[in-house]
């Protein structure tokens, strides 16, 4: 079995796994090409920058100091068996396991579920705009399949919507949250789109990015639709 490819590491965070002190491992590879990707250097599978055994040894030294390890990306499940094997090893150290995923691999998520305690699932746009945003025609259906599967596990999760105004307008946001409400989803995170690169800075204005958060009526409406709505600015 090939070694897992790790392209990045955050040694301490309080925001990537709700309520837990965590480290984050960024795994290499992603099947999507989202217009607002913040980690383009992780899109293609290739040699990672971090030696997996050194990372594992470092995590051993964090036992009792950190509560959780979050696997992110890229898409953390794209490496298949290598991802699941490493996730299991880390969980066996006693950490809670978080997973940030775009839901593209529902069957792989089913296989990983035994070792994952919480997920953050990206719901990126309405069905009609999904392919334009991510560059893949089956990503929406796969994401919904992953969402419906994870509901059956009974484990905690949140669904995350990043409001890039090029792909999500206020009516879209309401439609997405309405869909999630109909699916009995109880935790939704509304996330502000923040350009990560100078080339992206001019493609949207601050007012466009803030419009969802500055609209009090919209916020009340969204928050009334889902019991636990988090607004991340």
**Which tens digits make up the pLDDT trace of 71-120?**
999 999 999 999 999 999 999 999 999 999 999 999 999 999 999 999 99
Residue for token pair 């953390």: 76
Strands of 59-207, DSSP E: 68-72, 96-101, 118-122, 156-163, 187-192
Cβ neighbour number for residue 205 with a 10 Å cutoff = 11
CA nearest to 113, candidates 78, 84, 82, 89: 84
pLDDT in tens, 139-151: 999 999 999 999 9
CA nearest to 123, candidates 99, 150, 146: 146
Looking at 3.90.1170.50, 3.20.20.70, 3.30.1490.20, 3.40.50.720, the CATH number of the domain 6-232 comes to 3.20.20.70
Overall pTM > 0.85: yes
Domain ranges of the chain: 6-232
pLDDT in tens, 166-178: 999 999 999 999 9
The pLDDT of 36-44, averaged and rounded, is: 83
pLDDT reported for residue 43:
81
Cβ neighbour number for residue 163 with a 10 Å cutoff = 24
Structure tokens at 176: 């997405």
pLDDT reported for residue 48:
66
Structure tokens at 83: 């991802």
Task: Report the distance separating Cα 123 and Cα 55, nearest Å.
Answer: 30
Structure tokens at 70: 């979050």
């Amino acid at each position: 079995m090939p070694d897992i490819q790790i392209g990045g590491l955050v040694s301490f965070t309080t925001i990537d796994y709700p309520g837990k002190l965590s480290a984050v491992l960024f795994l290499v590879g992603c099947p999507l090409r989202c217009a607002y990707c913040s980690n383009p250097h992780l899109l293609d599978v290739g040699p990672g920058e971090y030696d997996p055994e050194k990372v594992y040894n470092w995590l051993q030294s964090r036992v009792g100091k950190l509560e959780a390890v979050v696997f992110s990306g890229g898409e953390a499940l794209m490496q298949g068996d290598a991802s699941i094997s490493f996730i299991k090893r880390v969980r066996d150290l006693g950490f809670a396991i978080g997973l940030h995923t775009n839901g593209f691999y529902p069957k792989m998520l089913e296989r990983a579920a035994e070792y994952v305690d919480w997920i953050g699932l990206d719901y990126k746009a309405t069905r009609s705009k999904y392919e334009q945003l991510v560059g893949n025609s089956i990503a929406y259906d796969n994401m919904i399949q992953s969402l419906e599967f994870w509901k059956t596990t009974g484990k905690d999760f949140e669904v995350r919507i990043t409001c890039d105004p090029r792909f999500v307008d206020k009516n879209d946001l309401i439609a997405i949250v309405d869909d999630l409400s109909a699916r009995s989803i109880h935790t939704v995170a509304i996330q502000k789109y923040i350009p990560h690169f100078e080339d992206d800075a001019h493609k949207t204005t601050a007012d466009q990015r803030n419009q969802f958060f500055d609209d009090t009526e919209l916020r009340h409406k969204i928050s009334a639709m889902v019991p636990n709505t988090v607004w991340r600015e």
